[in-house]
Amino acid sequence: MQNEFVFAGFGGQGVMFAGQLLAYAALDEGLQVTWFPSYGPEMRGGTAHCFVVISDDVIGSPVVRRPRHAIVFNNPSFDKYESMVAPGGLLLINSSLVTHETKRTDMNPLRIPATDLADQIGDLKLANMVLMGALLTAHPVIPLHALPRALEAHGAHPEKLPLNFKALEAGASFARKEGVTAW
């Protein structure tokens, strides 16, 4: 089965890192993966998004027109990608920063106060990991435990791993408390 994701926000929010981490984790799980980044005119503060495609079969194209999953970090990203989510898909929203409400009834919105939870952990930059924990709880395309392994193998500074792990669990825990079941 093929799953398409778009991660979108401002540069500096960890949008690219979140998408790349998901791609590495899926690759480590033996799946086929593409990661396709796109940066706005400025890196930090400009718009940024990336597409991730995960499949157990060959992937025909890294281009995604109707992603099944959209992870939006801010209002401009919500405005751009909400309408693109495939019917029945997941719109994962950083409700700490996204004030807009969806009017669509044919998809599953999940509002997570990712920035607020990251702040409680002690680092606002961990909002992306909070969202990742919620994402894989809501839709476990790969097991949640694949993310900490991917962080250790591919990305995070060793001294930052404990906080990253805490952020992943905070997102997963919040999604569970919201009564999210996998769809």
DSSP state of 160: G
Instruction: Report how far residue 176's alpha carbon sits from residue 137's, in angstroms, rounded to the nearest whole number.
Output: 7
Reading the chain (183 residues) residue by residue, the pLDDT tens digits are: 899 999 999 988 999 999 999 999 999 999 999 999 987 665 555 679 999 999 999 999 888 999 999 999 999 999 999 999 999 999 999 999 999 999 999 999 999 999 999 999 999 999 999 999 999 999 999 999 999 999 999 876 888 999 999 999 999 999 999 876 555
pLDDT of res. 42: 52
Q: Which domains does the chain have, with CATH numbers?
A: 2-177 (3.40.920.10)
In which element (H, E) is residue 2 found?
strand 2-10
DSSP state of 124: G
Give CB contacts under 8 A, 24+ apart, made by 118-127. 118/167, 118/170, 120/170, 121/163, 121/166, 121/167, 121/170, 122/163, 123/163, 123/167, 125/14, 126/163, 126/164, 126/166, 126/167, 127/13, 127/14, 127/73, 127/94, 127/96, 127/167
Instruction: Report how far residue 53's alpha carbon sits from residue 23's, in angstroms, rounded to the nearest whole number.
Output: 8
Instruction: Report how far residue 135's alpha carbon sits from residue 140's, in angstroms, rounded to the nearest whole number.
Output: 7
- Return the structure tokens found at 59: 């992937």
Q: 35: closest CA among 73, 78, 4?
A: 4
- Torsion, Cα of 166, 167, 168, 169 (10° steps): 50
pLDDT of res. 46: 66
Overall pTM surpassing 0.85 (yes/no)? yes
Determine if residue 108 is left, alpha or beta; phi over 0 gives left, psi from -120 to 50 gives alpha, anything else beta. Answer: beta
User: How many degrees, rounded to 5, is the angle at CA 183 between CA 107 and CA 84?
Assistant: 30
